[in-house]
Structure 1
Amino acid sequence: MTLVLPTVLAEVAGGRTEFALTGVSSVRAALDNVGESYPILARRLRDERGQLRRYVNVYVDGDDVRRREGLDTAVGEGQEILVIQSVAGG
């Protein structure tokens, strides 16, 4: 499976925007996997309770995980996890 980040988060992910992951079965496990190597990225995506931050949206093959099982949404080989960080301002 592939985890894709927006370019704006690349600087806290070692300059990367794409990660090929194996052996993970949920969105939570995928974020944990990447977050172990990039703790600043982990803090940008999830709050102190481990939940997605308000302005972070995650999609599995185009489906919003908040409309599915949240971080426990199952993922498998060949699927794409897309992280989108909303931009707020006025």
Structure 2
Amino acid sequence: MSVTVRIPTILRTYTGGAAEVTAEGSTLAEVLADLEKNHTGIGARVLDDTGKLRRFVNVYVNDDDVRFAEGLGTPTPDGAGVSIIPAVAGGC
């Protein structure tokens, strides 16, 4: 299954500046593995040392937050959009 992955500005150094790239996989885990294979280094920014999604990174498949779906096992149907969004913290 081919999906479009939207890359946040902070991670575009791994994609040669591309804001969107394609990746293959039927689950989010497979998509992230393919993303890492083709854009070495990006996986470590999205996954922690145990292979789980980092707490400060939000990932959506289409409009669904994977934390409330099946996490890394979330299906990624052909043509789906995957968005990687780093959490932003701050305040006054």
Counterpart residue number, 1:57: 58
Counterpart residue number, 2:13: 11
When the two structures are aligned, how many residues end up with a matched partner? Answer: 89
Q: Which runs of 5+ in 2 are unaligned?
A: none
Tell me the amino acid that sits aligned with residue 13 of structure 1: T
How many angstroms does 1:7 deviate by?
Answer: 1.5
Give yes or no for contact 1:9–1:17 (8 Å, CA) kept in 2: no
Across the aligned residues of Structure 1 and Structure 2, the Cα RMSD in angstroms comes to 1.4
| CA–CA distance in structure 2, aligned partners of residues 10 and 42 of structure 1 | 12
| CA–CA distance in structure 1, aligned partners of residues 17 and 83 of structure 2 | 17
Counterpart residue number, 1:85: 86
Q: Which runs of 5+ in 1 are unaligned?
A: none
How many angstroms does 1:65 deviate by?
Answer: 0.3
| CA–CA distance in structure 2, aligned partners of residues 66 and 84 of structure 1 | 13
Deviation digits for residues 42-83 of structure 1, max 9, x if unmatched? 111100111011100000111000100001001111210111
Tell me the amino acid that sits aligned with residue 11 of structure 2: L
Q: Percent identity?
A: 38
Runs of 4+ aligned residues of structure 1 deviating over 3 Å after TM superposition are: none
- TM-score with structure 1 length normalisation? 0.88
| CA–CA distance in structure 1, aligned partners of residues 21 and 15 of structure 2 | 10
Tell me the amino acid that sits aligned with residue 63 of structure 1: D
| CA–CA distance in structure 1, aligned partners of residues 82 and 41 of structure 2 | 19
